Amino acid sequence: MKSPNENIQIALIGAGGMGQGDAHLATSLPGVKLVAACDCYDGRLQHMKEVYGPETFITRDYREIVRRRDIDAVIIATPDHWHAPISIDCLNSDKHVYCEKPMVHNVSEGHDVIAAQAKAGNVFQVGSQYRSSATYLKARDLYQANAIGKLNSVEAWLDRNTAIGAWEYSIPTDASLSTCDWPQFLGNAPKREWDAARFFRWRNFRDYGTGVAGDLFVHLLTGLHTVTGSKGPNRIYATGGMRYWKDRDVPDVMLAVLDYPETPEHSAFNVLLRVNFKSGLPQESFGVKFIGSDGVMTTGYTGV
Ligand SMILES: NC(=O)c1ccc[n+]([C@@H]2O[C@H](COP(=O)([O-])OP(=O)(O)OC[C@H]3O[C@@H](n4cnc5c(N)ncnc54)[C@H](O)[C@@H]3O)[C@@H](O)[C@H]2O)c1
């Protein structure tokens, strides 16, 4: 048992955009100290030393973090194909884990992560923020108070119209095989020649990312499940394609239709999901619209 006066010592594995944001938030809490960071790109490791101090331990190999006994918890914010292996190794070495969404790259990996968590008995939290956001908890209260009557359908969308929004991230000018650990990035993914676009724009490739479904539908569905208490649909139809962006193997327009069965928490309802990376709109639009017999409730990033 730890003394409440000790720091909780954390490490960040995957120090890109989201990992740095998560680490910043975690260390803004009293008693939380970031002592180590792991990444496959030297520029990101250097940045972590600049932000958290020169004594911060940095490494390209997450196993060096797994081996350290003084680290209580890790934040995992690597590309999706690394989530399950790193989560399992960290749970097996008695660390608590906050792993960014999506929990796994392939659904089949989920069982091993759940088993590792059950064995370790440690905290394993998936970074799907609409599970805990004030907006969605408020929407849940309204839904439970019967504000819209009987739910019959839901329409959820995310429309984007910028290159960054479509995952065309900039590639650092010093990106090379000496500044980037390509084998460590690839892990269990198929072996191939160095490709800076794959390294820095990994979301565009199924070998490392989960496409729109795992990367973005996950947010629409988490918000929906938080509000309705649902555990998920029993029928799904989805389609999409590379309609504007061609430099990838994942769709930039994706649509899905889902059937939710009746449960003690809700009546049966239908869901329409849409993500469009070339929407023609002047700005990003995101929402989940709950349509009921007596009214409509729409949630966005910060309001309901
Ligand atoms: N909850 C949210 O709203 C949200 C938002 C953005 C991203 N995410 C999730 O966070 C994760 C990271 O996304 P991002 O946008 O920060 O991507 P990113 O490319 O900015 O960062 C990923 C980092 O992981 C590093 N990396 C790659 N392989 C590694 C390995 N084996 N060990 C250690 N580091 C490794 C990369 O070098 C890179 O710096 C993704 O799973 C993504 O789905 C969640």
Which amino acid is residue 64, in one-letter code? E
Query: Helix, strand, or coil here: 145?
Result: coil
Question: If you take atom 18 of ligand 1, which residue's CA is the nearest one?
Answer: 16
Q: Could you check whether the bond before residue 79 is cis, i.e. omega within 30 degrees of 0?
A: no
Q: 126: exposed, middle or buried (C-beta count within 10 Å: 0-12, 13-18, 19+)?
A: buried
Ligand 1 centroid – CA 227 distance (Å): 27
pLDDT reported for residue 1 = 45
CATH 3.30.565.10 fits 8-127, yes or no: no
In a 13 Å sphere around the CA of 247, the CA atoms on its Cβ side amount to: 11
Dist CA 121 CA 100 (whole Å): 19
Task: Please report, rounded to a whole number, the percentage of residues in the chain having pLDDT higher than 70.
Answer: 98
Dist CA 51 CA 47 (whole Å): 6
Which amino acid is residue 122, in one-letter code? N
Q: How confident is the model at residue 5 (pLDDT cuts 50, 70, 90)?
A: low
Q: Do domains 8-127 and 134-165+206-299 have the same CATH topology?
A: no
Question: If you take atom 30 of ligand 1, which residue's CA is the nearest one?
Answer: 185
Dist CA 69 CA 49 (whole Å): 21
Q: Per-residue pLDDT for 143 more than 80?
A: yes
**Crossing angle (nearest 10°) for helices 110-120 and 83-92:** 20
Any idea which residue has 């000018």 for tokens? 173
Ligand 1 centroid – CA 78 distance (Å): 4
Residue 149 CB neighbour total at 10 angstroms: 11
Dist CA 139 CA 186 (whole Å): 40
In contact, 252 and 274? CB cutoff 8 Å: no
Dist CA 179 CA 47 (whole Å): 13
Q: Where are the domains of the chain?
A: 8-127, 134-165+206-299
Ligand 1 centroid – CA 143 distance (Å): 34
- With residue 68 as reference, give the H or E element that holds it: none
Encode pLDDT of 55-86 as tens digits. Answer: 999 999 999 999 999 999 999 999 999 999 99
> Which mutation among 48, 57, 100 tests ligand 1's pocket best, with the greatest number of atoms within 8 A of CB?
100
Encode pLDDT of 212-265 as tens digits. Answer: 999 999 999 999 999 999 999 999 999 999 999 999 999 999 999 999 999 988
pTM assigned to the model: 0.96
Highest CATH level, class, for 134-165+206-299 = alpha beta
Q: Which 8-state DSSP code applies to residue 281?
A: -
pLDDT reported for residue 265 = 83
In contact, 135 and 300? CB cutoff 8 Å: yes
